[in-house]
Amino acid sequence: MYAYELLESGCHYLIQEKENDPISLIKINMASDHCVYVSFFGMEEEIKWKRKSDLIFDIIELLSDDAVKAWESSYNNNAFNYEEDEE
C-alpha cells in the first residue's frame, strides 16, 4: 500500500485507490502540511482534498511530460466534441 504523501505536486499519475478499482488518472495540484488537492480525470474532472495519509492500493505510473501532452490533446478534443454533440 502507498499513500498520497508519496505523490509530488504538479505531476500526473495512474493509480488504483483500492484493489479492484479501475485505473484512475490524477494530478496533484498542491499540497498543504496534511493534505493534497487532487484532480481526478474521468468523463469530467473531479477535484477534491485527500489526506496525505489516505491509502492508495497501487501507484502504477508517473506520466512523462510527453504522455501528459498526448493525453491532454485527446482529453480536450473529446471534451470539445462532447460539448458540440449536446447542442
Q: Note the pLDDT tens digit of each residue in 4-61.
A: 999 999 999 999 999 999 999 999 999 999 999 999 998 889 999 999 999 999 999 9
- Look at the chain and report how many structural domains it folds into: 1
Distances (CA, A) of 14 to 3, 49, 68: 14, 17, 11
In this structure, how many other beta carbons lie within 10 angstroms of the beta carbon of residue 36? Answer: 22
pLDDT of residue 46: 96
Structural domain of 48: 2-62
pTM: 0.84
Higher-scoring residue by pLDDT: 86, 24: 24
Q: Which residues pair with 35 in a beta bridge?
A: 51
User: Rounded to 5 degrees, what angle do the CA atoms 23, 45, 29 make?
Assistant: 85
Question: Does residue 82 lie in a domain region?
Answer: no
Q: CB–CB of 47/38 below 8 Å?
A: yes
Specify if 67 maps to a domain.
no
Residue 70 is assigned to a structural domain of this protein: no
